[in-house]
Amino acid sequence: MLERVADNWWLAREAVSAVMGLWGWPWGRRGPSGFGSASTAEEVTAGVDATNLTAIVTGATNGIGKETARVLALRGAKVIIPARTLASGQKVKESLADQVPSSKLHVMEMDLSSLSSVRNFARSFDSSHEHLNILINNAGIMACPYQISEDGIELQFATNHVGHFLLTSLLLDKMKSTARETGVQGRIINVSSVAHKRSDGTCFELKKLNDKARYHPFIAYSHSKLANILHANELSRRFQEEGCNLTANSLHPGVIFTNIVRYIAGNSALLPVLSPLAKLVLKGVPQGAATTCYLALHPDLKNVSGKYFADCNEATPTAVARDAELAKKVWLLSEELVGTNAASKPK
């Protein structure tokens, strides 16, 4: 009970921060990039021609992932939509095609919580698509009851981080070859969250992650979001060391009404108070997808790597999220969880 009160207090505090304009919303304050929290995904990509680009957007079947896919398609990119079932993905494709008749959308089956499914997707993509310029690791689940994935990993960590770690690793060769052949810098974007602040970074051992007795839904979510940032940072370090033409960044999309309500819906005392206010002052989906689309397409992001963004501007995550040694530790743990050959090209 006390833990739920603490979570609701933390989420309410973040919502109040948004209302008071610390992120510029709703008054539209803009940062050095020229954009702010009121900017939409269409606005931050205006004038960008992505005709020759290929992108994968995980979690594109709803919410900010779907809006990200729509805007990338609107700018001319070929967009691959991984979906847990082809039927659900096809419905999304048809919906987006109605909005963007010129869209180039491809649906492929993948369940991020299953390592075998991720491997099958990577293998299929590698054989059917010549290039990959942009990988947006957006999909995620939030504060669910305790569950273990089919691979024996706590479900939020398995879905939000480990699945994306394996997917990224298996697609790196494709992205590197695309960058070499086209001369266009490849971009990897990890959608994290301000919730990473709730993780102190001491959790990254499988026994701790899987310990049901110490499991707390929102804290487990926070661990996975911290891992998203550390993953992007370590990718960036490795890219720089290798000298390949790829970048990796992470972001907080903003406090969005749907995510807050989904978590606090069980608290009948807070919901009637926050719901009307949230609809008026917090970000909607078009604003929630803006930072992702900015990182994916805006020319100002060329050669920018290893950074964390919020409201389409560089921001500062916690000190733990900037810990290079912890990033290496999480990388090694992730390799153990997916197998030592995670970074090899799909066969």
Residues 6+ apart with CB under 8 A from 259: 142
HEC string of the chain equals CHHHHHHHHHHHHHHHHHHCCCCCCCCCCECCCCCECCCCHHHHCCCCCCCCCEEEECCCCCHHHHHHHHHHHHCCCEEEEEECCHHHHHHHHHHHHHHCCCCEEEEEECCCCCHHHHHHHHHHHHHHCCCCCEEEECCCCCCCCCCECCCCCEHHHHHHHHHHHHHHHHHHHHHHHHHHHHCCCEEEEEECCHHHHHCCCCCCCHHHHCCHHHCCHHHHHHHHHHHHHHHHHHHHHHHHHHCCCEEEEEEECCCEHHHHHHHHCCCCCCHHHHHHHHHHHCECHHHHCHHHHHHHHCHHHCCCCCCEEECCEEECCCCHHHCHHHHHHHHHHHHHHHCCCCCCCCC
- N-terminal to C-terminal alpha carbon distance within the chain: 49
Place of tokens 């891992």: 227
Of the residues 146, 215, 263, 294, which is catalytic? 215
Q: What Å distances lie between residue 234 and 29, 56, 252, 321, CA to CA?
A: 32, 21, 18, 11
**At residue 317, what are phi and psi to the nearest 5 degrees?**
-80, -175
Whether 146 is catalytic is: no
Give catalytic residue positions. 215
